[in-house]
Amino acid sequence: MLMLPSSLRRVMLRAILRRPFQAAMFILGVALGVAMMVAIDIANASATRAFGIFAESLTGRTTHQIVGGPSGVPYELYRQLRLELGVREAAPVVTAYAQALELDGQPLRIFGIDPFAEAPFRGYLNLGAANANADIASMTAFLTQPNTVLMAEQLAAQYGLQEGDTLTMRYGPTRHKLTIAGLLRSSDEVTAQGLQDMLIADISTAQEVLNMLGRLTNIDLIISETPDGEALLARIRSILPPGATVQVAGARASAVGQITAAFNLSLTALSLLALVVGMFLIYNTVTFSVVQRRPIIGILRALGVTRGQIFGMVLWEAALLAAFGVVFGLIAGVLMGRLAVVIVTQTISSLYFTVTVRNVDIPTLSLLKGALIGISAALLAALLPAYEATNTPPSGTLKRSDIERKVRRAVPLASLSGALVVAVSLGALSLPSLEVNFVALFGIVVGFSLFTPLVTLALMSAVRPLGGLLLGVLGLMAPRSIIRSLSRASVAIAALMVAVSVIVGISAMVGSFRNDVQGWLADTIRADILISPPSISAVRQDVPVEPSVADVVSRVQGVVAVGVSRSVDVIRPNDPQPVLLTAIDRDTSMGTRRLVWQIGDYETVWAALGEGAVMVSETFARQRGIPIAAGQHITLLTDRGEHTFPIAAFMVDYSGDQGTVMMRRHIYLQYYDDPYISTIAAWVAPGYAVSDVVNAIRAAFDGQQELLVQSNRDLRERVLVVFDQTFAITTALNLLATVVAFIGILSALASLQLERTREFGAMRANGMTRCQLFRLTLTETSLMGAIAAVMAAPVGTLLAWVLVYIINLRSFGWTLTLSLRPEFYAQATLVALVASLLAGVYPALRIGQIQPACALRLE
Amino acid sequence: MTRRGILAIATGLLVLGVAFIGVSGLRGQTQPEFSADVVAALSGGGIEGFARVTGVKEFSFPRDHGAHPEYQTEWWYNTANVQTADGRRFGLKFTIFRRALTPTMAERRSEWATNQIYFADFAIADIAADRFYFKERFARGAAGLAGAQTEPFVKIWIEDWSITFDEDGQGYRLRAAEGDMGMDVRLRMSKPIVLQGDRGFSVKSADEGNASYYYSFTRSLLEGTITVRGEQFAVSGTAWFDHEYSTSVLGEDAIGWDWFAIQLDDQREIMLYQIRLRDGGIEPTSNGTFVNADGSTRYLLMAQGDYTITPLGTWTSPRTGAIYPHGWRLTVNAPDGLLELEVQPFMRDQELNTTTAYYEGAARVTGTQNGKPISGVAYVELTGYNVQTREGHSR
């Protein structure tokens, strides 16, 4: 950018200092946008990194993993590897999450290992020779005593636990008292963080606690990338039982990255929204300051300052203020980030995988990105006003009216370019890239905002006669005055319109989603009572429960029928992401399940399932590229080897965004050696009250099984609670965008009204009362709010449509039905009106205090 | 008899050490430096509840070839002097150790649960090349990974290393291989089993219970293949096998021992050892066994002057810095006259720098008896010298 002579620099600084309110508004606009972006970035990065570290500490130097189906890998395979193939770098692992009841129910990964095989794989502890004595004792206990674990020193300290203390771990329906045999001091940051979420157990203990007798979760391998390594891998593959396969380690961890990519992207897009709104604010402020300084700029030009220097001065001014804004924004962003991390990880944990973030990372990259985008946005927003400033003739006689005239002339141009932007954006929606779709979404918003001057003109002209009828002179004056200050008014209206339409769009999207989930729940779960073990994740139930529990339920008086389901992760060959497979023996939907494609009527589908076909959720099909059409198949690795199952139907399923494959239980048992169940559904006989039967089942379990027994209604309510939690972050961001918009309109109106001080002075001098002036101001701002609301309704609807049918479908694969309810619009209109009214109060009060003499003295 | 008492105890502790390393991810880059205090603390205490060796017992084979998990420590020890058809000499050593972490086990459902830990090492001394190689491993005595069975045949194993007895009980096979080193050799016992000490009851110190059950195959004829740095050699020679188990053997003031297993060319064998004490003295119960060509034995007690051991020189390990004696003059009161022997290792460096560093070396034996020249081979085991060197004890 151009260098400024020192004289101009002083002019610039003086200008800023003379108008602290506007400078503050500018800084606020930048700061809020930057803060939101940084906060979301921090939250995303922290969650991703926490998972990365955790995965790393679990994987260690493992290159390959032998994994199996739901029942894991038989332990004999490990012995075979060691004894028959002479594989040295192999380590057995038995692991799962359990809840630590004394630790506020926090999920901890019980990680069962064989210490004698671990050395090449993972680095957990750094037991110095200094306390070797104590360590030998704890190691003996760890190896030989049942229910003993090692725990990170930091975690223990956090909860005031010591060696010898016990922890109650809840895994599915059972509780286990585990004794801390020793504390682990980690040697480096990565292991320290990884260990924070873990209890290390001997493999025997892990098997007993996690109900994995005779089985391993996986066998870790280190295999070099050499011909020898390849040969070894081939030998290992040749002895694998049918249900097991060798995967490259870290494949699952990187799949996790893909899983959350769409989620992260939508959050980022939402956070950028604040910046877009902020840009309106910046544009407004800069324009205002340029207009106010026209005389000065004129004089400067007369004194020989070039256009380029004027242009530079305005941009420098913007850059300087933006820099302040960025600093505040970064600080606020980091503070807000800590809060956002909590919300984001909660959502990730309930939807995708358990992750606990202890250390909030503040990545330099996020800060740099925030700063760069903040300053760029400010400069971009200041570009137009800066250019306008250069057009000031040296005489400096250009009046407000001149600009307004120019703006009026520019209205068709703005509308035309708006139409163009909207058209291009709509076109871009058909491109398959999610990033492009989000940009297009912004394009639509911005494009429509360019219509604001036109709509304002049209509406105000139309409303004038009506205003005159209702409010008399004031009703005539207010629309006129908005038209007269179109350049500023339309920017403020646009900012408000954007915020409000986003509110409409997002609430319509979330509302539609919620509506569909509710309907789906009602259709899918038609059993009266649902029984499941307490689970860490909201969307999956994969803790093994003894099938005999179902018999206990069926013997309870009042239970007429019982159905069981089993949800497990299975492997799809050549797919790094596990597949959630649900096996059911009785359909809880009782034939009302929503299907998007099916081979025939429900009976036909159910019969086909009985013959070995499967149902696949729509989300699953979309994410794994399976066309929703006839003749599709899915190949799964079963305990009998790879098997291809025909797909009999594609179903609607909102239970998780990874999708599921459903088969009937007898088919499942045929292909998988896994007798366990995950959840139980029960139907109540006529004449019995559901609540009584619920209590009877609870009583039957009492003391033996810790299972959640819920009535259908309770379950539905609980699912909706989870749903709302999931969208908590969306709502929060939405609210923040509204706050930004509110500040935007406040600043715009304040500037606008304060600019007209002399005008108001003249009015007052001509006999207008304070009260009338107050009413005039508020009428004006309310009118502006109304324009924003009127515009926001169609734009918001369009946004909702794009979010539901394009963004959501592409991100997650759910087809939702857009349901528009009047309350979304009412709510948005209310927000617009209240915001504009509130924003008008301060300027109105200030104007009310104008001393006509003072104001006119300036004339 | 007493010989590997400390070794076993120290190594037993170090099993745990290795377990830590396992968990600690030191990744074997550094050897854990367990202090002598730790060894002392654990060799003294920690035996409560274990079965003790307090008197003579009746051995029953093949059952007693198997494990005795009620005792804390047990090992199956093989050494052999072998050569190729064209006379290239090698020394072989392969031992499987067992250590019980606790005297009893809680009832457990997991097949991985155990209080028994196995560890093993094997070494090959390539005498012509003056190179010494060794490997070591650890495993739990569960899930089929390691153990000792007697039915349907005797087999002691740790993963794919094993000592497998022939069904007739008169022969056995040693298999151990890792990387480019390995041995797969078959052996036949050429002499009856020798029960060491008093009918297999081997007293190690004056305190009751400081003793072991100990028997040997003093001369097994070996044939098989060894692999040294990827190169295979067909070898034959003579081997020595010890099986010993105990709960505590050494007194508190013991620091290490020097142990000799000598096979004379005239079909006679001698086992003798001395336990060195911290004060520079020798444990008075140090003893040996003289095995006649017909398999009959004679008990040797060092304190009675039945034998003497005089070091001739020293060798300093470049790795551990331990200063070992090197070359000995031995006198042994054989039934048919005094044996004067000189034992010289075939090569200097035969130190196993495993979790516990010790010396286990093939040696040449020369000497005279009643004016006639005598020759043979031997294996010499030296323990405790790393600690001794570090602490600067006398002797």
Domain boundaries, chain A: 1-36+256-398, 63-248, 534-706
Q: Which of A93, A144, A226 to mutate to test the interface with B (most CBs of B within 10 A)?
A: A144
Instruction: Determine the Cα–Cα distance for residues A471 and A775; give it in Å rounded to an integer.
Output: 10
Task: Write the residue in A75, A132, A208 that is nearest to B143 by C-beta.
Answer: A75
The alpha carbon of residue A277 is apart from the nearest alpha carbon of chain B, in Å, by: 52
- At B287-344, the pLDDT tens digits run 999 999 999 999 999 999 999 999 999 999 998 899 999 999 999 999 889 999 999 9
Residues 6+ apart with CB under 8 A from A427: none
Could you tell me what percent of chain A has a pLDDT over 90?
25
Chain A nearest-CA residue for B24:
A125
Kindly tell me if the per-residue pLDDT of B51 is higher than 60: yes
pLDDT computed for residue A127 by the predictor: 38
pLDDT computed for residue A231 by the predictor: 94
pLDDT computed for residue A858 by the predictor: 53
Q: Are A437 and A810 in contact (CB under 8 A)?
A: yes
pLDDT computed for residue A399 by the predictor: 60
Q: Which of B9, B14, B24 to mutate to test the interface with A (most CBs of A within 10 A)?
A: B24
Using an 8 Å CB-CB cutoff, list chain B residues near A114.
22, 112, 140
Chain A nearest-CA residue for B34:
A129
Can you say whether residue A122 is alpha, beta or left, with left for phi > 0 and alpha for psi between -120 and 50 degrees?
beta
pLDDT computed for residue A136 by the predictor: 60
B160 and A88 within 8 Å at the Cβ level: the answer is no
- At A108-124, the pLDDT tens digits run 889 999 988 887 777 65
Across residues A6-25, what is the average pLDDT? 77
Q: Are A530 and A548 in contact (CB under 8 A)?
A: no
pLDDT computed for residue B338 by the predictor: 94
pLDDT computed for residue A403 by the predictor: 67
Across residues A531-554, what is the average pLDDT? 81
Kindly tell me if the per-residue pLDDT of A719 is higher than 50: yes
* Residue B392 per-residue DSSP state: T
A140 and B160 within 8 Å at the Cβ level: the answer is no
Question: Lowest-confidence range among A351-355, A607-611, A722-726, B166-170?
Answer: A351-355
3-state secondary structure of A841: helix
pLDDT computed for residue B38 by the predictor: 30
Q: Position B237: which residue type? A: G
Kindly tell me if the per-residue pLDDT of A69 is higher than 60: yes
Instruction: Determine the Cα–Cα distance for residues B151 and B149; give it in Å rounded to an integer.
Output: 6
Can you say whether residue A89 is alpha, beta or left, with left for phi > 0 and alpha for psi between -120 and 50 degrees?
beta
B22 and A150 within 8 Å at the Cβ level: the answer is no
Measured CA distances, A202 to A19, A91, A141 (Å): 69, 12, 10
Chain A nearest-CA residue for B27:
A119
Q: Torsion angle, CA of A765/A769/A775/A779, rounded to 10 degrees?
A: -30
- At A492-511, the pLDDT tens digits run 888 888 888 888 888 888 88
Is A82's Cβ below 8 Å from some Cβ in B?
A: yes
pLDDT computed for residue A402 by the predictor: 67
Q: What is the CATH number of the domain that holds B292?
A: 2.40.370.10
Chain A nearest-CA residue for B160:
A83
Is B318's Cβ below 8 Å from some Cβ in A?
A: no
- At B293-303, the pLDDT tens digits run 999 999 999 99
Cβ neighbours around A692 below 10 Å, total: 12
A128 — pLDDT class (breaks 50, 70, 90): very low
Could you tell me what percent of chain A has a pLDDT over 70?
89
Using an 8 Å CB-CB cutoff, list chain B residues near A127.
20, 23-24
Count of the separate structural domains present in chain B: 1
pLDDT computed for residue A430 by the predictor: 86
Is B39's Cβ below 8 Å from some Cβ in A?
A: no
The alpha carbon of residue B252 is apart from the nearest alpha carbon of chain A, in Å, by: 18
pLDDT computed for residue B25 by the predictor: 38
A401 — pLDDT class (breaks 50, 70, 90): low
Residue B316 domain boundaries: 5-391
A208 and B41 within 8 Å at the Cβ level: the answer is no
B20 — pLDDT class (breaks 50, 70, 90): very low
Selected residues 13-72 of chain A with any CB under 8 Å from a CB in chain B: 60
Q: Which of B112, B114, B115 to mutate to test the interface with A (most CBs of A within 10 A)?
A: B112
A253 — pLDDT class (breaks 50, 70, 90): low
pLDDT computed for residue B394 by the predictor: 46
Q: Are B1 and B271 in contact (CB under 8 A)?
A: yes
B18 — pLDDT class (breaks 50, 70, 90): very low
Q: How many CB pairs under 8 A join A and B?
A: 141
pLDDT computed for residue B24 by the predictor: 40
Is A202's Cβ below 8 Å from some Cβ in B?
A: yes
Selected residues 175-194 of chain B with any CB under 8 Å from a CB in chain A: 177-178
Across residues B351-379, what is the average pLDDT? 93
Kindly tell me if the per-residue pLDDT of B182 is higher than 70: yes
Kindly tell me if the per-residue pLDDT of B236 is higher than 90: yes
- At B125-153, the pLDDT tens digits run 999 999 999 999 989 999 999 999 998 99
